[in-house]
Amino acid sequence: MNTLGEVLNYRADFSARLEALVGGGKRYTYKEYNERVNQLAHYLIEKNIAKGDRVAFLCKNHHAFPVIFMAIVKVGAIAVPINCRQTTEEIYYLIQDSKPKMIFYDDEFTQNIPSLDQLSFVATMIKVAVGSETHPSFEGLLVNKPTHDPGRSVDGDDAAIIMYTSGTTGKPKGVLCSHRNLYTAGESSGNAIDYHYGDRYLAVTPLFHISGILSIFNCIYFGKTMITLSHANPPDILDAIERERVTCLMTVPTLLIYMLPQIMSGEKDLDSIRIFICGGSTVPEKLIRQYDALGFPIVQVYGCTECSGAITFWKSNMGLEKCHSVGKKQLQGKVKIVNPDTLQEVPTGEVGEITFKGPQVCLGYWNNSEATQSTIKEGWVFTGDAGKIDEEGFVYVMDRYKDVIICGGANIYPAQVEEVIRQLEGVLEVALIGVPHEIWGEMPRAYVVKKEDSDLTEQDIMEHCGQRLATYKVTEVIFIDELPKNSLGKVVKPTLRKMAMEEQEINH
């Protein structure tokens, strides 16, 4: 087996009655899951979806999401999951770049989908709800369709998914991963985390994220039940853990912080939980120790989309004294710390750029050979993160070479936000940095230099950004007379971060 569809066929044969999907009042066994995937796959073929065609979907976490994803990859098409937190303008760019033949979308995102007359390459749009005369409903597509495998020939090296991220240029880039990439990453990460057959997995992190896509595969490969929540807030998460006897879930540090007081209250029966898996940003050492003391071990994951997910894992059996690291590399793959200028490996304990090589490394960026060549060199992914490895093999993430801001587990790319702010007539210069925050990790702050005699206000900038960007991408605007720069005229963001830290110290 080397394709995602083959793994689902295997699981449906050997665990036909095992509960596979739970959510929205629906429950499906693996036999039913596979049949629904096959029915949708036959519909895709009926609509002339060929190998290599893109099929996009704009959906929240629900039981239809895994079905849509698995049907797409079963017919050899390329899945394009879209971040449903993005604005219409951002979504439009991703659709224009990937040019999908078909788009699935949740009913609540109707206003976020560009009209068909704007998208000549899209043949079909499908509403995952009640449907309409122009856009058929998801459930209606499955009626009277064959439940057997579509029989489309798919190879492990075929492209399976385009996961959109953004680079330092601010323009979203599509990370192209093969079936083999995802298969290897899912198998390796699942073994590292120690998933069990029969585990009940609560899908808290968005399924449109690489961690969500891998969780779909992991559940199938290891024989787990996936429970979906459309709204992942602490009360709903804890209710679901108690109600569904959840054994494992993946989340971000922010949610762990918000859940802690409710967990400590003892109001919910959470005895079923074996592990909390956490990624997106570094988990505070204090938080790891607090959860461990309560009997809830945390598995910390460090990775990137270009590596199809995880690079390293830290688990409590590695020793709490090492919990400020991100653990050790997974079984399949190599981690090397290099000097970003010379590309030579640095001595143990010295800081350099974290690089990774292994069968999980993506095929490259969709339609962007230049970005591929600058990020993947001789099979090594250059993560843009500064880090070091100690004598025992533990990896430490020190900082980011790239200016990515991580807010509540979500990546914010300053160049993209800065470009939007610069569109305003009264803006002379702008620089976005992350300001440390106890709960969210970092909060994005824009330092803006106004043009002379401009009457531009903070509200003007916030409203402008709110119409063009997801609201979490800029939360504060500070006007400044001039930005600190080096001799080459480049903005020195560390100086801005130092200013922000000094302000925080004064205010506290």
pLDDT of residue 280 exceeding 90? no
pLDDT of residue 487 exceeding 50? no
Q: How confident is the model at residue 167 (pLDDT cuts 50, 70, 90)?
A: very low
Q: How confident is the model at residue 170 (pLDDT cuts 50, 70, 90)?
A: low
Query: What does pLDDT average to over the chain?
Result: 91
pLDDT at 146 (0 to 100): 97
pLDDT of residue 166 exceeding 70? no
pLDDT of residue 210 exceeding 70? yes
Q: Which of 159-173, 196-210, 302-316, 384-398 has the lowest mean pLDDT?
A: 159-173
Three-state secondary-structure class, residue 163:
strand
pLDDT at 86 (0 to 100): 84
Are residues 56 and 47 in contact, defined by beta-carbon separation less than 8 angstroms? no
Instruction: State mean pLDDT over 108-128.
Output: 79
pLDDT at 281 (0 to 100): 75
Q: Select from 163, 215, 156 the least CA-distant residue to 190.
A: 215
Are residues 385 and 397 in contact, defined by beta-carbon separation less than 8 angstroms? yes
What CATH number does domain 404-507 carry, 1.10.10.10, 3.20.20.220, 3.30.300.30, 2.60.40.10?
A: 3.30.300.30
Domain 4-389 has what CATH class?
alpha beta
Instruction: State mean pLDDT over 166-192.
Output: 86
pLDDT of residue 33 exceeding 50? yes
For residue range 120-164, what is the model confidence (pLDDT) as tens digits?
Answer: 888 788 888 745 556 678 888 899 999 999 999 999 999 999 999
Instruction: State mean pLDDT over 271-293.
Output: 90
* pTM for the model: 0.82
Domain range list for the chain? 4-389, 404-507
Two tokens at 295? 């009997």
Question: What is the distance between the alpha carbons of residues 407 and 396, in angstroms, rounded to a whole number?
Answer: 20
pLDDT of residue 118 exceeding 90? no
For residue range 14-24, what is the model confidence (pLDDT) as tens digits?
Answer: 999 999 999 98
pLDDT of residue 289 exceeding 80? yes
Question: What is the distance between the alpha carbons of residues 63 and 228, in angstroms, rounded to a whole number?
Answer: 7
Q: Which of 46-55, 84-93, 331-340, 432-441 has the lowest mean pLDDT?
A: 84-93
pLDDT of residue 494 exceeding 70? yes
Question: What is the distance between the alpha carbons of residues 257 and 436, in angstroms, rounded to a whole number?
Answer: 15
pLDDT at 16 (0 to 100): 98
Instruction: State mean pLDDT over 365-374.
Output: 95
**What separation in angstroms does the CA of 369 have from each of 1, 100, 161, 209, 325?**
30, 20, 17, 23, 33
Q: Select from 362, 297, 307 the least CA-distant residue to 333.
A: 307
Note whether 4-389 and 404-507 share their fold: no
pLDDT at 145 (0 to 100): 96
Q: Select from 294, 300, 219, 220 the least CA-distant residue to 262.
A: 294
pLDDT at 489 (0 to 100): 58
Query: Hey, how many other C-beta atoms are within 10 angstroms of the C-beta on 373?
Result: 11
184-199 CB burial, b ≥16 within 10 A, e <16: bbbbbbbbbbebeeeb
pLDDT of residue 62 exceeding 50? yes
Question: What is the distance between the alpha carbons of residues 275 and 298, in angstroms, rounded to a whole number?
Answer: 6
Reported residue count of the chain is: 508
What percentage of the chain exceeds 70 in pLDDT? 95
Q: How many DSSP H helices and E strands does the chain contain? A: 14, 26
Q: Which of 96-110, 189-203, 204-218, 482-496 has the lowest mean pLDDT?
A: 482-496
Are residues 352 and 339 in contact, defined by beta-carbon separation less than 8 angstroms? yes
